[in-house]
């Protein structure tokens, strides 16, 4: 647990704008906090007002309501400013979320007693270049996708690690993931599951053809360079956000970020394995309950 119970004096409660029930629940949480002598403000996750409040260090804690995508967005916003995040799950998986919708009345008082711990998850920094000119920069919590665009044709992806040539993949894409992202796209592509506390970079090819078809786990201090060779569409996509086109010979540089995403946890550190098995046995995204 932690002795930081007095740290959270300015709290923002952010709801996903496409989930009407999230907004209603956020209002209930704000009312609950006020009854317990704690002021807070309501926001929508993608509002400029919230972004500016975070950048100006006007909040100490962000409570978000939604699913894992909501937590990714919150991580992008809060990671560079060391602002902890508490996730309340209104989505399907909830791999990253801490408590369920019907649990917050039980756990919020524990937060202000200091009965929690902070889980720091490594993020990645990705930069894209065209003719050595920087064209984009991304803070990433799950993964960076570098691969084909709309055409169903593989691309050639020349991979270098720490400045040394590794291999050239002929594949749909190459994923560079954190331990957090090892249970996302990288897992679907056949990669290993890494516990969230590990600070590694995971490389996994998507549908490789006569190329290395095993995931490669790199140390935190490694740097990855991916050069695109393609005469058709290619793109970079960070954490499932809007993809950005890449041209032939464009380069993507990936390394560990100087920032971490900080998640509030009430469960013991073994929660990851305890929650993993039910998700693996039954995929919540199908909507089918057996």
Q: What band does 255 get if pLDDT is binned at 50, 70 and 90?
A: very high
Catalytic annotation, residues: 68
Contacts (Cβ under 8 Å, ≥6 apart) of 151:
232, 233
Write out pLDDT tens, residues 98-133.
898 889 999 999 998 999 999 999 999 999 999 999
Instruction: Measure the CA angle with vertex 117, ends 43 and 276; round to 5°.
Output: 85
Q: Is the pTM of this model over 0.75?
A: yes
Write out pLDDT tens, residues 175-221.
999 999 999 999 999 999 999 999 999 999 999 999 999 999 999 99
Quick one: CA dihedral 17, 23, 29, 35, positive or negative? positive
Q: What band does 94 get if pLDDT is binned at 50, 70 and 90?
A: confident
Domains and CATH numbers, the chain: 11-116+266-286 (3.40.50.10330), 123-258 (2.60.200.30)
* Secondary structure (3-state) at 197: coil
User: How many angstroms separate the CA atoms of 92 and 287, rounded?
Assistant: 8
């Amino acid at each position: 647990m932690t002795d930081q119970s007095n740290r959270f004096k300015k709290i923002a409660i952010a709801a996903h704008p496409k989930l009407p029930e999230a907004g209603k629940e956020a209002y209930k949480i704000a009312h609950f906090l006020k009854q317990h002598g704690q002021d807070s403000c309501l926001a929508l996750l993608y509002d400029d007002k919230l972004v500016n409040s975070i950048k100006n260090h006007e909040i100490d804690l962000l409570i978000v309501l939604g699913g894992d995508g909501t937590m990714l967005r919150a991580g992008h916003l809060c990671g560079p400013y060391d602002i902890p995040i508490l996730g309340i799950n209104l989505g399907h998986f909830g791999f990253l979320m801490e408590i369920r919708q019907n649990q917050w009345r039980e756990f919020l008082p524990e937060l202000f007693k200091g009965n929690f711990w902070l889980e720091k998850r490594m993020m990645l920094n990705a930069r894209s270049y065209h003719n050595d000119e920087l064209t984009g920069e991304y803070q990433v919590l799950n993964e960076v996708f570098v691969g084909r665009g709309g055409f169903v044709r593989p691309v050639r992806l020349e991979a270098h690690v720490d400045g040394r040539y590794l291999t050239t993949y002929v594949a749909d894409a190459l994923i560079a993931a954190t331990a957090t992202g090892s249970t996302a796209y990288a897992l679907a592509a056949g990669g290993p599951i890494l516990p969230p506390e590990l600070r590694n970079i995971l490389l996994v090819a998507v549908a490789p053809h006569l190329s290395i078809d095993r995931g490669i786990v790199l140390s935190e201090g490694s740097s990855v360079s991916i050069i695109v060779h393609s005469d058709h569409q290619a793109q970079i996509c960070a954490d499932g956000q809007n993809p950005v086109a890449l041209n032939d010979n464009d380069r993507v540089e990936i390394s560990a970020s100087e920032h971490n995403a900080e998640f509030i946890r009430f469960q013991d550190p073994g929660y990851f394995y305890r929650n993993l098995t039910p998700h693996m046995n039954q995929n919540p995204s199908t909507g089918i309950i057996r």
